[in-house]
Chains A and B, each alone.
Chain A
Amino acid sequence: MEDDVVIRIRGLRKAYKIIDPSVKKIGLLSNKYTDYPIFEGIDLDVKRGDIVGILGRNGCGKSTFLKIVSQIVEPDEGTVEVEGKVASILELSMGFHGDLSGRDNIVLRSELYGIPRDEVRKHIDEIVEYSDLGVFIDNPVRTYSSGMRSRLAFAIMVNVDADIFLVDEALSTGDMAFASKASEHLKNLVRSGKTVLFTSHSLGTIQRTCTRAIWISERTIRMDGEASEVCDAYARSINDSVEETMSLAKGGSSSAQYRLSTFYRDGNGVERNHEEQRKWLEEAAMREHPMAMDELADILMSEGTAESVSRAIDLYQRAAENGNFDARRKYATMYGDTHEDIETLKEMMAKLAESGYPFDLFNYGSLLYKSALIPSEYEEAFKVLTAASEAGWLEADTLLAQMYREGTGVDRSIEKSIQILEDSANRGNSRAMSSLGDLFLDGKFVQRDPVRAYEWYLKSACCGYAKSQYQVAVMLSSGLGVEKDEEAAKEWFARYSSSMVNDSRKIVLDTYKKRGLRDPRIPNLLKASSLCYNTNSMVTLAGKYSEGRDVKKNPGAAFSLMTKAAVAGGQPRARLGEMYMDGVGVDPDPVAAKKLFEDAAAFGDANAMYRLAMMYKDGIACEPDQDNYRMYMRMAAERGSRDAKEVVMKWDDRVRRRRAKADGSDRPEGSERPYKNESKEGAEQPKNDNGEKETPVPKGEGPVSPGSNGSKEGYRGPAKDGEKPRSERPKNDGGKSGTGNPKKNGQKGNSDRSNKGGAKGNTQRPKNDGGKSGTGNPKKNGQKGNSDRSNKGGARGKSDNPKKGASEPNANKEKAKPEHPNGDA
């Protein structure tokens, strides 16, 4: 045998004799048994130091497998080689003599394991101590509860010396303290070079304890691999198995009944069948399963008869009482009769969405989604969101992915869901990255893959997404999906806790700016939040470096900071694009700049849209394109770019003048208003250029209608317009990877760095914004007068110690370096 393999099984076959009534045999003494195969050709190697969990349904042969390994049962065919002494603990309470005291039983039982009396006597106090039975140890074992028996049995086992331990269902008895003690002991055994095989139905125990798991099914080893993966696959198969669910459902498990109804609904493993779906929903709803009640009520609602509606309302109410949020909202909607209100809101939103601007489409779609009651409404929401996503709105992606995953408004498709998330994540959507991490770590919908989960969490964390920073830290400290690294974990924990106070930092910075206060410590605050990858701060700091305000001018540092920040989409990418355009800290590269602007524009960054529009106008890095020029310019104006507004205003003036000439009528009063509205909004939303603002404020009809030439066919027509940036983007990607232009290098550097350091998540910002829309700086001008930068204007007076300023970026770099290995791992 090789050094490490302690159990080697080859071609194992085993059949039991069972009574099979279908095989008729005549005569009293004739053999009434028929062979029933349990294992057909099992090969297995177990290495020293493995702790192997064995999974499988009842009667699949788990215990028989252990018995074969322990040579209690002989295989019919094949070989089983075992190296070392085997201790089989197939039943904890085996061999207790009820009349003997616990203490005597310790001796007796140990002897049955082959330990001589003298030896046992030496250790008996330890065993008694470990069993924690107190005074009961001197009472007859027949007076013990089953839990106490297990404790005693396990305490004895701890003293058994063997090389291989086979444990059958042993950890399933006893209280929690005992169970954890027991599994800890098994781990200790393995640490000291022993090998453990044990069976359990508790997936949790196996996941916690085992390094490896085997799933026995259909007479062979169905799966063999890392414990958590096998457990997930096993759990999934139980959940996805129609037969399994059916038998559970028939047994009266409401969650199984609900699951079964979804099988019938989606045609998952069975034919689609609405009667069956309905039947099981009714069953589950009868047992107060909230989701089933909700879904049944949805069906009743769509039937529309008075009777079914009243029943549906009743069901919603009960589901709501059981804690289903969906049902609560629906019930509240119906009860409170806010429906009309919402309808009005919807109509107004729909009108806005006619513009075809991705932002409006998204807002409309999410409103539809949030207020949907019945499947057809979800389908509508899905259509709108798809249009928004095709128009390049990243936030729509997350919502769409969720709908695909849950199968609301569209056929359920996990692949689609993941694909959308990945696309979105690759374009810098930190929330999508985090969702991907969740998916892969959770393993409920896809094959669990901690390594990929870690990668996504890390990317997201580098965008400053606090939740992901915490996840990364936890995974590093537990060695899940990445090599264990306590040091790196500490750093990430620090970043997370620092991220948590970023809001406060932001408040300080904004308030200082607003009140014109100055403080030499402001750059320090910025540095601190840059260290935990807050993109805002990184951008602001980079601005300071590039202009030499408060700190020593250092375009190189500015560029490297900005590159880190640009892992996240939105404003940082726009600013990096500007740097590429203007050649700050890097050679000018319009192609790279354009790509970055496009990404930022997809996040709704007004500056980026404006710059992009200008590029299309002047034909920089692309062919001049009037359509795109106009669309981006209008979008930029919508999102509050001053420069863009001026341009758009000029256009509209021109249109009006032309119209005035043609009609002979004077300027309509209303036409003035839109711009007022708009500029007011611009003031109200100073952060518009930062990215998405979620508040679907109905803006009235003004700003949209005048300019949207040829985009009045409704939201789906303009979606074609909106598609353009999207369809171009992939092309750009292709070009990028095809040619070795400097932009590619720039991007490369980006993604490499994204593994170690990064930026604050853009997606977090709406939260911040919501609280403080009003701190705006009206002086903001599209390109340069970024609010953040004018922020610093206040602090400019007291210039920082130049030495410190110069040393800081280096410190940043040094800080980033040690993280490299983690990122690569």
Chain B
Amino acid sequence: MENPFARIARSTRDVWNNRVILMAMVRRNTAGRYKSSYIGFAWHLIMPVLMIVVLYITFTSIRPRPLEDFWVYLSAGMFPVTFISSCLRGNAVTRNAKYITKMHFPREIVVISSVMTDFLTVVFAYVVIIMVILLSGQYVNWTGMLFIPVELLLMFMFGLGCSYIVSTITVFIKDIGYFMSVAMRLVFWITPTFFLVSEAKGLLSSIVWYNPFTYYVETFHDILYYGIFPHTELVLMSVALAVVFFLAGIMIFFHYEKRFPEVL
């Protein structure tokens, strides 16, 4: 058995050598998605803006919350949750079965490209959010802002790790895919997006910190809503979760990927 780190190094090299394919797949997922629409790629930017507008209208006029600037809180936490949820959909490999069975290339590319596509949406969203925040004259913590790219990358690693695990299992047990879509609903409601962590009561208050999503969402809340540099525990947990999930995911993936072409 190959040394896991050597394997990861080889994989990284392979992916880098085949970056053309990686980029092609990302482009296929992004550019292809809105191709027949009139404004095409612009939807990537407009979607988060519209989302924010909807949230703003909802929580200021339709269903006002006493909390000040609740739409900032919402938009800051919303996108990490959707990103991680889509990473956990688990169809990264099965969706690209055609390529896996017909082409010789580093198979991690299908997972990476799928996660990258979703990640791009998050990045665009944060660009928009930050711009809106700046325009609306909110207080901005600049050191915290500088930490956003780092946190995004950590979240990317975490999401990638999740995706590796779930996608691999889905190849062998298709049921996981259906289960995950239900599980995601639950996770969504135990992640502090529509509520503050301090508001959590009873059972929720005890399980909310067992939910790994919470750490990433809270980090963004800290930076964007509370305007502070994120708490040290949050940062450490983000790093730890990213590393653990990424390593675990990639190990599982490498262990099973050889059998993909036969099973798919």
Contact = CB atoms under 8 A, between A and B. Distances in A.
Interface centre among A67, A94, A95 (most CB of B within 10 A): A95
B103 A112 contact: yes
A116 B105 CA distance: 15
Given A67-B261, A114-B18, A115-B20, A72 B103 contact: yes
A112 B104 contact: no
A72 B102 contact: yes
Interface in A67-111: 67, 70-74, 86, 88, 90-91, 94-95, 97, 99-100, 104, 108, 111
Given A67-B261, A73-B262, A99-B36, A114 B21 contact: yes
B261 A72 contact: yes
Nearest to B102: A90
Interface stretch (B24-32, B62-70, B133-141, B207-215): B24-32
A67 B101 contact: yes
A371 B126 CA distance: 96
B13 interface: no
A146 to B, nearest CB: 16
Interface in B92-144: 98-105
A116 B22 CA distance: 11
Given A100-B35, A108-B24, A112-B21, A74 B258 contact: yes
B23 interface: yes
A252 B99 CA distance: 38
A100 B40 CA distance: 11
A140 B262 CA distance: 32
A72 B104 contact: yes
Given A67-B261, A97-B32, A100-B35, A114 B104 contact: no
Interface string A299-341: 0000000000000000000000000000000000000000000
Interface string A781-817: 0000000000000000000000000000000000000
Contact of A72 (B18, B28, B36, B101): B101
B102 A91 contact: yes
Contacts of A97: 28, 32, 35
A100 B98 CA distance: 18
Contacts of B258: 74
Contacts of A100: 31-32, 35
Contacts of B35: 97, 99-100, 140
Contacts of B18: 114
Nearest to A168: B102
Main secondary structure on B side of the interface with A:
helix
A17 interface: yes
A88 B103 CA distance: 6
Contacts of A72: 100-104, 261
Interface residues of B, number: 23
A73 B261 contact: yes
A16 interface: yes
A92 to B, nearest CB: 10
B42 to A, nearest CB: 16
Contacts of B36: 99, 140
Contact of A94 (B21, B23, B98): B98
A16 B28 contact: no
A108 B103 contact: no
Interface string A579-605: 000000000000000000000000000
Interface in A517-531: none
Contacts of A70: 104
A524 B139 CA distance: 114
B104 A95 contact: no
B98 A17 contact: no
Nearest to A73: B261
Interface in B234-264: 258, 261-262
Contacts of A117: 20
Contacts of A95: 28, 98-99, 103
A111 B32 contact: no
Contact of B99 (A17, A67, A74, A112): A112
B105 to A, nearest CB: 8
Given A111-B20, A115-B20, A99 B32 contact: yes
Given A17-B262, A73-B262, A111 B23 contact: yes
Contact of B24 (A17, A67, A111, A140): A111
Contacts of A67: 101, 261
Interface in B25-83: 25, 27-28, 31-32, 35-36
Counting chain B CB atoms within 10 Å of each CB, the highest count among A16, A97, A140 belongs to A97
Given A74-B258, A99-B36, A100-B32, A94 B104 contact: no
Contacts of A73: 261-262
A108 B22 CA distance: 11
A91 B261 contact: no
Nearest to A68: B261
Contacts of B23: 111
B191 to A, nearest CB: 31
Nearest to B18: A114
A116 B20 contact: yes
A17 B100 CA distance: 18
Nearest to B37: A99
Contacts of B99: 94-95, 112
A266 B32 CA distance: 63
A501 B26 CA distance: 72
Nearest to A101: B35
Nearest to A16: B262
Contacts of A116: 20
A88 B24 contact: no
A151 B101 CA distance: 22
Contacts of A91: 98, 102
Nearest to A117: B20
Contact of A88 (B100, B102, B262): B102
A17 B18 CA distance: 31
Contacts of A99: 32, 35-36
Contacts of A71: 104
Contacts of A108: 24, 27-28
A324 B99 CA distance: 53
A33 to B, nearest CB: 10
A88 B100 CA distance: 12
Nearest to A70: B104
Contacts of A112: 21, 24-25, 99, 103
A583 B104 CA distance: 79
A100 B25 CA distance: 13
B102 A94 contact: yes
A571 to B, nearest CB: 68
B186 to A, nearest CB: 24
Contacts of A111: 20-21, 23-24, 27
Contacts of B105: 114
B104 A86 contact: yes
A104 B31 CA distance: 10
A72, A73, A90, A117 — most chain B CB neighbours (10 Å): A72
A73 B260 CA distance: 9
Output the residue of B23, B36, B101, B102 with the most chain A CB within 10 A: B102
Interface of B: 18, 20-21, 23-25, 27-28, 31-32, 35-36, 98-105, 258, 261-262
25 contacts: A67-B101, A67-B261, A72-B100, A72-B104, A73-B261, A91-B98, A95-B28, A95-B98, A95-B99, A95-B103, A97-B28, A99-B35, A100-B31, A104-B31, A108-B24, A108-B28, A111-B20, A111-B21, A112-B25, A114-B20, A114-B105, A115-B20, A116-B20, A117-B20, A140-B36
Given A90-B103, A94-B99, A108-B24, 4 more contacts: A94-B103, A111-B20, A111-B23, A112-B99
What 5 A-B pairs are tightest by C-beta distance, nearest first? A111-B24, A99-B35, A90-B102, A97-B32, A70-B104
